[in-house]
């Protein structure tokens, strides 16, 4: 893949599903991602990347999954396997701790929080594409959870809509190494324009345009 330049005014970080249930000890889904997340240094990488993106004055977009509510899927003809799991587990429940933002990644002033997605793509049945077009965004960096579901689906959809797509190997996680391998080594190269590490991406960002500090590695 060619070296990518990230134009400050035309790049956005898409942070997918930064919920306690995914990213915090005690979260309903966290035990399933913990091994890969710890091995990747996921939380520290997300903190470093979040700091670098904000220091570079790049737009942050929060791309949240549907927060579970009673009755969401029970009457559906064909909820998918993930939706069935959410229906059983009550992941990301609205009004509960698990459905709150991880405290390190809660939206800040100037961030865009798009409509919640019901499936795996942050674009399908949401306002994400409209919000990005209003900011004249051409490049999207997709991070968060899970690598082989919402990250891959959001990245694929972005490519179909004409965006330049970057995946970040160690700013995501999945339930197994096999799923991570599929996401980044098998499937990612078929749609992503760049697949980088957190360190490589930070090095490629525009210089910080303020005195905001980037957290050290």
The string of pLDDT tens digits covering residues 45-67 is: 999 999 999 999 999 999 999 99
Per-residue pLDDT band at 121 (split at 50, 70, 90): very high
pLDDT over threshold 70, residue 215: no
Share of the chain above pLDDT 70, in %: 95
Distances (CA, A) of 197 to 9, 36, 40, 69, 172: 22, 15, 10, 36, 10
Q: Please, are residues 201 and 141 in contact by the beta-carbon 8 Å criterion?
A: yes
Helix residue ranges per DSSP H, 136-188: 152-160, 177-181
Instruction: Spell out the residues 6+ positions from residue 130 whose beta carbon is closer than 8 angstroms to its own.
Output: none
Q: What is the mean pLDDT of residues 185-190?
A: 98
Helices (H), 41-176: 42-55, 81-89, 128-134, 152-160
Q: Taking the model in full, what pTM does it have? A: 0.94
Token pair listed for 158: 């972005």
Work out the average pLDDT over 88-117: 97
- Per-residue model confidence (pLDDT) at position 2: 62
- Angle at CA of residue 136, ends 135 and 141, nearest 5°: 85
Give exposure, 139-174, as e/b (b: 16+ Cβ within 10 Å).
bbbbbbbbbbbbbbbbbbbbbeeebbbbbbbbbbbb
Region class of 92: left (phi > 0), else alpha (psi between -120 and 50), else beta: left
Closest CA to 18 of 93, 87, 106: 106
**Rounded CA separation 19/29 (Å):** 10
Identify which of 149, 197, 210, 165 has the alpha carbon closest to the alpha carbon of residue 48. 197
For the chain, domains (ranges, CATH) are: 8-204 (3.40.50.850)
Measure the CA angle with vertex 122, ends 42 and 23; round to 5°.
Answer: 25
């Amino acid at each position: 893949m060619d070296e990518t330049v990230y134009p400050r005014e035309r790049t956005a970080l898409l942070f997918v599903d930064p919920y306690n249930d995914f990213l915090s000890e005690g979260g309903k889904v966290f035990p399933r991602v913990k091994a890969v997340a710890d091995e990747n240094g996921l939380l520290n990488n997300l903190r470093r990347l979040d700091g670098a993106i904000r220091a570079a004055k790049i737009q942050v977009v929060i791309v949240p999954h549907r927060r579970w509510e009673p009755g969401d899927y029970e009457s559906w003809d064909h909820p998918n396997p993930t939706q069935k799991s959410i229906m059983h587990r009550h992941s990301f429940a609205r009004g509960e701790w698990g459905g709150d933002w991880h405290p390190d990644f809660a939206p800040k002033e100037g961030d865009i929080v798009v409509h919640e997605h019901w499936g795996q793509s942050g674009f399908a049945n949401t306002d994400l594409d409209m919000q990005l077009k209003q900011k004249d965004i051409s490049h999207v960096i997709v991070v968060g959870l899970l690598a082989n579901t919402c990250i891959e689906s959001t990245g694929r959809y972005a490519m179909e809509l004409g965006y330049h797509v970057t995946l970040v190997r160690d700013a995501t996680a999945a339930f197994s190494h096999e799923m991570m391998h599929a996401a980044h080594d098998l499937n990612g190269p078929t749609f992503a324009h760049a697949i980088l590490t957190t360190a490589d991406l930070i090095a490629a960002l525009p210089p910080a345009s303020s005195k905001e500090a980037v957290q050290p590695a």
